[in-house]
Amino acid sequence: MTSKPIRKPMRNWVRIYSVAVLLAGAIVASAAALKAQSSAESISVEASPQIFATMCALDAAGFDADESTLAEMPARLALRADLLKMHGEATETLRQFYKDHALADPADTLSRYITFALVVGPPPSFQFQMDTEQLPPDVLAIEGFQKLLADFYREARLDVRWAKIEPEYGPAVERYQSSLRRIVTVTNGYLREIAKPSNGRMFTVYVEPLVGARANFRNSGDHYSIVVGTDSAARFDAIQHAYLHFMLDRLVLRYRPLVDRKRALLNVAGAAPRLPVEYHDDFVAFTDECLIKAVELRLRHLSKDQLDTSLMDADKSGFILVRPFVTQLQKFEKDEPAMTYYFPDMITGIDVDAEQKRLQSVKFAAAEAAAPTPAQSGDSDNAQPSELERWLAEGNRAIASRNTALAEATFETALGKYPDEPRAMYGLAISSVLSGNGDRAKDLFKKIVSVGNSATGTGQSGQADPSLVAWSHVYLGRIHDLEDDRDLAVSEYRAALAVDGAPEAARVAAQSGVQTAYKAAERPGENEPVR
């Protein structure tokens, strides 16, 4: 079907993009209400000023953050660029400290600072929330950072910057709110448990996009925290895993004497080359991890063949209690008591002699070799993701600064080498909106939708993230509304609502579009050209 030409003025295209960016303001109010409700339940999703300040310090020090996660946070992206250019006594001292304490693996380096941010209080003093002797080893390894951060916080005026940027965290917080609600509902329903606010235990998801694909999970006493960046299926799994720790750790500890009766099985598991070293001498932690893995398998509703494969993989990796726990969970599912009351029976039901006999036929998998670096392997393909991510980050920075010519050129370059990359198509579509090229924007949004219908994934080349698909439907709906084609507009809005995994913000925008035709409101100065 041939699409009708866009008949509205260029400024309507600018409004479409502007409304999407300013949507964060509306979401913040909703997120605040949700946060208040979650706080009463000791389960919440938040943006943390401590983590923000810590990441700003790493920005200034030159940490290689994942800028591709900041497409919807132009002010945060611009701030990162500003911090890299900063000069001052506190900033230079901070950079030297970071250089002196950097580890070979950037993920390990980041982990130390995230742990620090989780055990300190709010700015500007960042006082530790526990005695020095109780501080985690990660934090002790960067002793002295606390004062440097406080000095840098003042020098960079991060209090003012945080006040301006905090609203941009709204959409990400809202998405994770939705994910966490599903996790809590499904997990508590399966375990037949209720998280009670009166017991002082807390579970918090902290959102900081610059941590990228890395998820950092910590628990300090009764406060369980996970810091997440990109919104993806992998992050959903990481939050669910952390929440299962929150719900089940206490049971394994409560019945430790009963658990210890099965300790002979650790001698078998310890021979598995792939079993993480932290479990070799800690049978309670090992049992806890196996129980959590077993619950995760039951929550996935696998077919018999899929379950058999997963159990075999668990055995070969050394997590030998996963299989007997799955057997016990299958009995639990047919019973009535909550897990709190059923857990002792599950432990008692594990037959050590029978398991030892079964495991005699299990051949443990060999230790996994470390992945070679591009220089070691000589494989130029290994460099492509970083090249792609650099282009995406550069294009997003150009969008943030409203440099549409540079944004279009950058995303076109990316598409020249990665023609089916949805994130590059989406960036070019937004750039086209800003430049008033309506026909190209519409075609690109349609292509993203088409890719999403054929293979929805996590944003890798050739796949479309549900967030991109949903927002593309919303933009197409708004375009059709501006073309006075209400039927097609409503069809697109409903398609956005039907996208599995669509972020809550996109759903809100789509539902609004179904109810009322999109009309960009005139605002002071909007007729002025975009600079």
Same domain, 119 and 197: yes
Residue 505 pLDDT: 60
In a domain, 177, yes or no: yes
Domain boundary among 334, 359, 384: 359
Sign of CA dihedral 301, 302, 307, 310: negative
Terminal C-alpha separation, the chain: 36
Q: Do 172 and 117 reside in the same domain of the chain?
A: yes
Domain membership of residue 251 (yes or no) is no
Domain count, the chain: 3
pLDDT, greater one: 234 or 111: 111
| Residue 265 shares a structural domain with residue 311 | yes
Residues 353 and 480 in one domain: no
Partners of residue 44 on adjacent β-strands: 204
More confident residue, 275 or 464: 275
Q: CA torsion 284→289→292→298, rounded to 10°?
A: -120
Within 192-318, residue ranges assigned H as helices are 233-254, 256-260, 264-269, 283-299, 304-316
Is 228 part of any domain?
A: no
Q: Report the C-alpha dihedral over residues 210, 213, 219, 220, rounded to 10 degrees.
A: -20
Region 330-357: what's the mean pLDDT? Answer: 93
CATH code of the domain in which 476 resides: 1.25.40.10
Kindly state whether residue 61 falls inside one of the protein's structural domains: yes
Distance, C-alpha 44 to centroid of its chain = 15
Cβ contacts of 60 within 8 Å, gap of 6 or more:
83, 84, 86, 91, 94, 95, 152, 156
Percent of the chain with pLDDT over 70: 78
Q: Of 135-144, 195-204, 304-313, 443-452, where does mean pLDDT reach its minimum?
A: 195-204
* pLDDT value at residue 4: 38
Mean pLDDT of the chain: 80
> For residues 69 and 209, is the Cβ–Cβ distance under 8 A?
yes
- Provide the edge-to-edge strand list for the sheet that holds 43-46: 43-46, 202-207, 223-228, 216-220
Rounded average pLDDT over 393-398: 70
pTM metric for this prediction: 0.62
**Res. 260: pLDDT tops 60:** yes
More confident residue, 405 or 322: 322
Any domain includes 23: yes
Are residues 304 and 270 part of one domain? yes
Which of 136-145, 170-179, 386-395, 517-526 is the least confident region? 517-526
- Is residue 180 domain-shared with residue 118, that is, in the same domain? yes
Residue 244 inside a domain? The answer is: no
- What is the predicted pLDDT for the residue at 183? 94
The domain in which residue 100 lies consists of 41-220
Token pair of 152 as six digits: 């840098």
Residue holding tokens 């209090």? 159
230 vs 41, residue with greater confidence? 230
Q: State the maximum Cα–Cα separation within the chain, in Å, rounded to a whole number.
A: 79
Asked whether residue 123 is assigned to any structural domain, the reply reads yes
Over residues 424-447, mean pLDDT: 86
Q: Are residues 93 and 115 in the same domain?
A: yes
Same domain for 526 and 414: yes
Give the residue-averaged pLDDT of 91-119. 89
Of 63 and 295, the structure prediction assigns the larger pLDDT to 295
Burial class (CB in 10 A: 0-12, 13-18, 19+), 442: buried
Average pLDDT on 289-312 reads 95
Identify the three-state secondary structure at position 274. coil
Task: Report phi then psi at 450, rounded to 5.
Answer: -65, -45
Residues in the chain: 531
* pLDDT value at residue 364: 92
Query: In terms of domains, do 57 and 113 share one?
Result: yes
* Same domain, yes or no: 193 and 270: no
Residue at which a domain ends, from 359, 380, 407 = 359
Reported as a single tens digit per residue, the pLDDT across 448-499 is 888 766 544 444 444 567 878 888 898 898 889 888 899 999 999 888 888 8
Domain-terminating residue out of 297, 331, 359: 359
Domain check: are 49 and 166 in the same one?
Answer: yes
Residue 521 lies in a domain: yes
- pLDDT score for 157: 94
Residue with the larger pLDDT of the pair 281 and 396:
281
Task: Tell whether 425 and 294 lie within a shared domain.
Answer: no
Residue 225: is its pLDDT beyond 90? yes
